[in-house]
Amino acid sequence: MGLGISVGILSGADNNDADRDEGLDPGWTAINYVLNAAGLPAHAEPRSLPQLDSRSELDSCPYSFIHYLRRAYAHRRADPTWLATPLPEGEDPSQDEVLQVEYDYLSSHLICHSDAEGYYVPVDFEEVLFAKNEDIGLPGGMLGSSYRLMEELILVAPALGIQLNNGQLSDAEATRICEEAAQQASCYRELDSWIILFESARLSLTHKTAIVFC
């Protein structure tokens, strides 16, 4: 089992299971309830999209991988000169002291999100939104913005040795990241989760579709 990350989930571009439409409907209702409560525009998930071409070779990863990426982001935010090195085997990234401080702030859209379910929507808001009423059934209990997620992925990129040009990822660099991660070299867990999320955020913002953790 691992964390699946999807975009365009109602369009058929990323999902061939028609029964999933009905199962996800409560999520969309809850999303818009939370957005409305915050005075934000509703999100209308598109049901028709062109082919969504992600440059990530994966659309899922072990649940633990995202904690490695969150740890890297927390360190880079605390120290702009920090560079990632592989965490010793057996050390739990989620217990990192710097990451724990970021959890306390409740401000990072990358960090303050369920590990296993939930959404990022292409709506621009600064603070992570929390479902104050559990009865609305928002998966994960927190709602993130694809805009803020992209900003945070751009911020952590240099710490992982990722080269961006004005926030843009070239095809050649995307290929290099995938190849390095596939070889399980260096910080491959951080690279795997970064490229999946970056490509998901890019497609989310381009096509106004939600990122779904499931």
Taking alpha carbons only, the member of 95, 13, 94, 91 closest to residue 48 is 13
**Position 24 pLDDT exceeds 80:** no
177 versus 19: the higher-pLDDT residue is: 177
Please provide the DSSP assignment of the chain as one string. Answer: --EEEEESTTTTSS---THHHHHHHHHHHHHHHHHHHTT-------S-------S-S-SEE-TTHHHHHHHHHHHHHH-TT----PPPTT--GGG-HHHHHHHHHT--TTTSS-SSSEEEES---SSPEE-S-GGG--TTSEEEEHHHHHHHHHHHGGGGT---BTTBPPHHHHHHHHHHHHTT-SSHHHHHHHHHHHHHHHHHHHHT--EEE-
**Position 54 pLDDT exceeds 60:** yes
The predicted pLDDT at position 80 comes to 97
Rg (C-alpha) for the chain, rounded Å, is 17
If one counts every other C-beta atom within 10 angstroms of the C-beta of residue 169, the result is: 21
**Position 19 pLDDT exceeds 70:** no
**Position 17 pLDDT exceeds 60:** no
**Where does the pLDDT of residue 135 fall: very low under 50, low under 70, confident under 90, or very high at 90 and above?**
low
**Where does the pLDDT of residue 132 fall: very low under 50, low under 70, confident under 90, or very high at 90 and above?**
confident
The predicted pLDDT at position 194 comes to 98
pTM of the entire structure? 0.93
**Position 89 pLDDT exceeds 50:** yes
Q: Which stretch of 22-26, 43-47, 89-93 has the lowest confidence by average pLDDT?
A: 22-26
**Where does the pLDDT of residue 66 fall: very low under 50, low under 70, confident under 90, or very high at 90 and above?**
very high
Query: Average model confidence (pLDDT) for the chain?
Result: 92
pLDDT, one tens digit per residue, over 139-181 is 999 999 999 999 999 999 999 999 999 999 999 999 999 999 9
Question: CA-CA distance, 118 to 98, in Å (whole number)?
Answer: 24
Q: Are 213 and 119 in contact (CB under 8 A)?
A: yes
- Map tokens 């070779």 to a residue: 57
The predicted pLDDT at position 137 comes to 87
